[in-house]
Amino acid sequence: MLPDIDRVSTIIREVAEAEILPRFRRLAAADVREKGPGDLVTVADEESERQLTRRLMELVPNSAVIGEEAVAADQKVLGRIFDDAPVWIVDPVDGTSNFASGKPEFGVIVAYAQRGETLAGWIYDPVGGRTATAMKGEGAWSGTSRLRTAAAAPLPAMSGVLSSRYFERAVRDHLDRQKHQLAHTFSLRCAAHEYLTLNSGKVHFSLYRRIMPWDHAAGTLMHAEAGGYHAKLDGGAYGPAEHTGGLLLAPDRASWIELRDHLFGAAPRTDRIVFTGSDV
- Render each residue's pLDDT in the chain as its tens digit; 280 residues: 799 999 999 999 999 999 999 999 999 999 999 998 889 999 999 999 999 999 999 999 999 999 999 999 999 999 999 889 999 999 999 999 999 999 999 999 999 999 999 999 999 999 999 999 999 999 999 999 999 999 999 999 999 999 998 999 999 999 999 999 999 999 999 999 999 999 999 999 999 999 999 999 999 999 999 999 999 999 999 999 999 999 999 999 999 999 999 999 866 554 434 443 333 3
Predicted pLDDT at 272: 39
* Count of CA atoms in the C-beta half-sphere (13 A) of 158: 29
Q: Which of 87, 113, 146 is the last residue of a domain?
A: 146
* Domain match, 44 and 79 both: yes
Query: What's at 170, amino acid-wise?
Result: A
Closest Cα partner for 40 from 121, 124, 106? 106
Predicted pLDDT at 268: 56
* Domain match, 14 and 142 both: yes
Closest Cα partner for 123 from 109, 142, 143? 109
Q: Domain for residue 280, yes or no?
A: no
> Torsion angle of alpha carbons 97, 100, 101, 105, nearest 10°?
60
Domain ranges, residue 179: 155-274
Predicted pLDDT at 275: 43
Domain CATH for 247? 3.40.190.80
Predicted pLDDT at 266: 62
* Domain match, 13 and 110 both: yes
Distance of CA 1 to the CA centre of its chain: 24
CA separation for the pair 125, 45 (Å, rounded): 15
CA separation for the pair 153, 200 (Å, rounded): 16
* Domain match, 231 and 192 both: yes
* Domain match, 11 and 81 both: yes
Helix (H) or strand (E) holding 196: helix 191-199
Domain CATH for 19? 3.30.540.10
Q: Domain for residue 249, yes or no?
A: yes
What is the count of structural domains for the chain? 2
Predicted pLDDT at 13: 98
> Torsion angle of alpha carbons 42, 80, 224, 246, nearest 10°?
70
